[in-house]
Amino acid sequence: MSEIRSRLTTEDQKQLSQLLGKVNLHLLYKASVHGFSVPDFHAKCDVQGPTLTVGYNKQGYTFGGYTSQDFDRSDSKTDNKAFLFRLQNWTEQPLKVAVNPDAVAVLNSRNTGPNFGDSLVFLNNEQIISGQRFNAQRIKAQRIRAEPGQSYSFNKSDLCGSDLDLVECEVYRVEEIKAPWRNLTRTKKELIDFIKSYKPYVSSVSKARVLLIGPVGGGKSSFINSTNSVFRGHVTSRALVGSGATNAPKKYSTYSFRGDEVGTSPPLILCDTMGLAEDTESGISSEDIISIIKGHVPNKYQFNPASPIKADTEGYIESVTVGGKIHCVAYVIDASKATILSTEMEKKICGIQSQINELEIPQIVLLTKVDEVCPLVGKDVENVYRSKYIEKKVMEVGKKLGIPVTCIVPVKNYWSDLELDCTTDILILSALVQMLRYADDYFEDLDE
């Protein structure tokens, strides 16, 4: 099916920007394409958030209404942000008619399309537009759930030239373009170059070790796979990814990475662990986590939640160098959970965090699955720092764990994609850069 084209001209959009500010307009419904009927309108436009309805009549008038409320077939709604408008062909200033204070702005019904307080009604009872609605006495006779009087005060001839015969009706979802709450200023190449050229502050250490900790299913293994994918130049799946407590990895595994150039190896080791669980019978124990941080746990060690590793456990590493210890801890948290951390999990992580603080190990948070939790980010990952919802999640995690917001990094893992995406790569690489920077803080403290 060919792309459905908007009827709005460039000049129309300039005038609308004066009314709406910096927004994107996404065409939801076009009557000549989808049908001049109420059911067609509701099928395309219900529960879409803020919308702009635009009508075009035979005399050439372009007019309509805006509401920040959903169309959802419910009852009357107040909306102090709502207004009617008419785009002017002879001036650069559009006509704007604000809703009267505390009046009904929108009436939702199965029998009408866009209904702006019964002052301007589109697709009334399967008809294109209702003209009688402009009469104040008629409004009262409709038994509207509102304060007495019109919802909007205007002159009919000013709004649409008294021509009520539509030739087209369009409804747009209005998406506000927000200033980013954090900026991505570095390119993918700049980030990769930084990582490849990184040298730990302590000369005796060749690679920084970062331990990933988090609830089962949070995305630890997926982040390792995503990191490997970025350096290899295609989607890979080195680390075992589990979908639940039963299938989740139960071994301690360390991962170095090879670049797409022969012999290149970024100076970084990511360490994967068994996931955290709310109960004490499953999931990694806090004792094992501390043993990993101190460097006593060998690669491929099989965890036993009922029996943490001890000095007499087979494979236990007694003598540990600085390079064998953990230099930064990353908590991997799933942003798509309705409750981002349960009370039990929050308590468990805070307990572990307290012990790590005593060891003076830098800690950051990777907030995963941001594309699943926010439609704006799901549509384009580049919107991650424009999403107020993601910002809210970051603030929530910071408050729960007592971690500065600057230490919380949103990422999207490669879990369903077959090809790499530049913005996704940048988010992953930015997280790795932060890990290396915090690891250097650890090394610098050691040197002092």
Q: Could you tell me if 163 and 195 lie in one domain?
A: no
Question: What are the CA-CA distances from residue 305 to residues 31, 285, 289, 302, 309 (Å)?
Answer: 62, 6, 11, 10, 9
Q: Could you tell me if 115 and 201 lie in one domain?
A: no
Alpha-carbon distance of 244 to 249, in angstroms, equals 10
Residue 134 pLDDT more than 90?
no
> Which two three-digit tokens encode residue 329?
């801890």
Q: Could you tell me if 130 and 230 lie in one domain?
A: no
Give the percent of the chain with pLDDT over 90: 59
Question: What are the CA-CA distances from residue 129 to residues 119, 124, 166, 306 (Å)?
Answer: 11, 6, 7, 71
Q: 170 in helix, strand or coil? A: strand
Q: Comparing 441 with 124, which gets the higher pLDDT?
A: 441
> Which two three-digit tokens encode residue 365?
């948070």
pLDDT band, residue 280 (cuts 50/70/90): low
Count Cβ neighbours within 10 Å for each residue of 47-78 and write b for 16 or more, e otherwise: ebebbbbbbbbeeebbbbbbbbbbbeeeebbb
In the prediction, which pLDDT does 142 show?
Answer: 26
Q: Could you tell me if 91 and 214 lie in one domain?
A: no
pLDDT mean over 300-310:
91
Indicate yes or no: pTM above 0.95. Answer: no
CATH number of 418's domain: 3.40.50.300
Alpha-carbon distance of 326 to 442, in angstroms, equals 10
pLDDT band, residue 112 (cuts 50/70/90): confident
The amino acid at residue 121 is V
The amino acid at residue 403 is I
Q: Could you tell me if 125 and 202 lie in one domain?
A: no
Q: How far is CA 396 from the centre of its chain?
A: 14
Residue 99 pLDDT more than 50?
yes
Domain that includes residue 171, residue range: 10-176
Least confident of 172-186, 253-267, 295-309, 386-400: 253-267
Alpha-carbon distance of 208 to 438, in angstroms, equals 10
Residue 3 domain flag: no
Residue 289 pLDDT more than 80?
yes
Residue 20 domain flag: yes
Number of domains observed in the structure of the chain: 2
State the Cα angle at 33 between 32 and 34, rounded to 5°.
105
Last residue of a domain, one of 176, 202, 226: 176
203's CB contacts (< 8 A; 6+ apart) are none
Q: Could you tell me if 301 and 246 lie in one domain?
A: yes
pLDDT band, residue 2 (cuts 50/70/90): low
DSSP assignment of 302-318, as one string? EP-TTS---TTSTT---
Backbone φ and ψ for 252, nearest 5 degrees, come out as -90, 120
Q: Considering only the C-alpha atoms of the chain, give the largest distance between any 2 of them, rounded to a whole number of Å.
A: 91
Alpha-carbon distance of 313 to 167, in angstroms, equals 81
In the prediction, which pLDDT does 262 show?
Answer: 53
In the prediction, which pLDDT does 228 show?
Answer: 95
Give the percent of the chain with pLDDT over 70: 90
Q: Could you tell me if 105 and 37 lie in one domain?
A: yes
Q: Comparing 282 with 140, which gets the higher pLDDT?
A: 282
Residue 133 pLDDT more than 80?
no
Q: Comparing 128 with 161, which gets the higher pLDDT?
A: 161
Alpha-carbon distance of 97 to 155, in angstroms, equals 10
Q: 37 in helix, strand or coil? A: coil
In the prediction, which pLDDT does 263 show?
Answer: 59
Helix (H) or strand (E) holding 288: helix 286-293
Residue 128 pLDDT more than 60?
no
At 196-241, the pLDDT tens digits run 999 998 999 999 999 999 998 899 999 999 999 999 999 999 887 7
CB atoms within 10 A of CB 334: 19
> Which two three-digit tokens encode residue 273?
């662990």
Q: Could you tell me if 64 and 213 lie in one domain?
A: no
Least confident of 87-96, 123-132, 312-321, 397-406: 123-132
Q: Could you tell me if 14 and 133 lie in one domain?
A: yes
Q: Could you tell me if 282 and 164 lie in one domain?
A: no
pLDDT mean over 81-91:
89
Residue 140 pLDDT more than 50?
no
pLDDT mean over 151-159:
86
> Which two three-digit tokens encode residue 61?
């008038």
At 395-448, the pLDDT tens digits run 999 999 999 999 999 999 998 899 999 999 999 999 999 999 999 999 998 866
Q: Average per-residue pLDDT in the chain?
A: 86
Residue 1 domain flag: no
In the prediction, which pLDDT does 268 show?
Answer: 96
pLDDT band, residue 131 (cuts 50/70/90): very low
Length of the chain, in residues: 448
Q: Could you tell me if 155 and 253 lie in one domain?
A: no
In the prediction, which pLDDT does 13 show?
Answer: 92
pLDDT mean over 266-275:
94
Helix (H) or strand (E) holding 120: strand 120-122
Last residue of a domain, one of 148, 176, 204: 176
